[in-house]
Amino acid sequence: MTSSIDKRVSAGGGPAPRRLAARTSASTMLWALAIVMVVIGLATPGDASGGAIKGTVTLKGTTPELKKLAVTIDQYVCGKEKNPEDLVLSPQGGIRSAVVWLDKPPAGTPAAALASTATMDQKDCVFAPRVVVVPAGGKIDFLNSDRLLHNLHSTPSANPPFNRTQPKGRTITIAFEKPEIIRVTCDLHSWMRGWVVVAEHPYYALTDGAGEFELKGLPPGRYTLKVWQERLGTVTKDVVVGDQDPTPVSLEMPAR
């Protein structure tokens, strides 16, 4: 004969395994849903645009003779001679201050925007940095840190020309609306050269002291890279961005 205690155990214990199974089933479904969402998130088109090209620009051929530049005026600030800066190489032949960009940018979400304002100083009677990149519509703040008079002179093709006297401490801001490569000089110091590269889109990079660069935010596909250097001109190379990230590339510029 079944006791009242047995009945209570039978009546109360039966549903417990069923409730546990239900909770386990719900938990399993939640975990499965979370995994599916992660997989879907990894496959979204936005993430497909996260590739990169990373490479080095090097000199091909014999290094040209680079002669020091004679200083003929204001030697008390400028010194008696200057190192040539129209071609600066690393010990491994990497080219500094070369500009690399995509001939045609990818459609869709662009890379991170270039800074809208850059700075170029006239310091120790040289332009520093020698090359700056600014987007079309951007501005350059030109500085003069030397204790003497300088000048900013340029005759661009697509942008308005300028010829401005610049005393010590004065900042001159100039806007550049249209893409092109612009040479800037100082009429008072003939050896001084600077370059403003006005970029058409965000996919531009300036090589560092080792000649290295990186372009980010690229979806898979075939691209044409261009690289410009003030002494060596322009070269191009086709690159395919695929599964490997970043995509490695080596760009060689023939010596001149």
The kind and range of the H/E element at 228 are strand 221-229
The first and second tokens of residue 90, run together, are 């690393």
> In this structure, are 201 and 244 located in the same domain?
yes
Q: Which residues contact 116 (CB under 8 A, 6 or more apart)?
A: 134, 135, 137, 138, 139
- Name the nearest CA neighbour of 119 among 194, 217, 201: 194
pLDDT by position in tens, the chain (length 256)? 444 434 433 344 444 444 444 454 545 454 444 433 333 333 333 334 578 999 999 999 999 999 999 999 999 999 999 999 999 999 999 999 999 999 999 987 667 889 999 999 999 999 999 999 999 999 999 999 999 999 999 999 999 999 999 999 999 999 999 999 999 999 999 999 999 999 999 999 999 999 999 999 999 999 999 999 999 999 999 999 987 789 999 999 999 9
Position 49 scores a pLDDT of 52
Same domain as 159, residue 38: no
Query: Quick one: 104 and 142 in the same domain?
Result: yes
Query: Which residues does 181 contact at the CB level (< 8 Å), separation at least 6?
Result: 99, 195, 196, 197, 198, 228
Residues 163, 226, single domain; the answer is yes
CATH of the domain at 248: 2.60.40.420
- Give yes or no: residues 225 and 111 share one domain: yes
Task: Identify whether residues 12 and 93 lie together within a single domain.
Answer: no
Phi, psi of 186 (to 5 degrees): -115, 115
Residues 25 and 54 in one domain: no
How many angstroms separate the Cα of 69 from the Cα of each of 8, 15, 149, 189?
Answer: 104, 94, 20, 11
* Residues 34 and 136 reside in one and the same domain: no
159 & 33 share domain: no
What is the structure's pLDDT at 189?
A: 97
Q: Which residues pair with 221 in a beta bridge?
A: 241
Count of structural domains, the chain:
2
The reply to whether 109 and 174 lie within a common domain is yes
Same domain, 34 and 65: no
What is the reported pLDDT for 34? Answer: 41
Query: What is the pTM assigned to this prediction?
Result: 0.80
**Residue 24 is encoded by which pair of tokens?**
């386990």
pLDDT of residue 30: 43
**pLDDT on residue 39:** 36
Helix (H, G, I), strand (E, B) or coil at 48: helix
Range of the domain at 24: 4-42
Please check whether residues 119 and 235 belong to one and the same domain. Answer: yes
CB distance 213 to 207 below 8 Å: yes
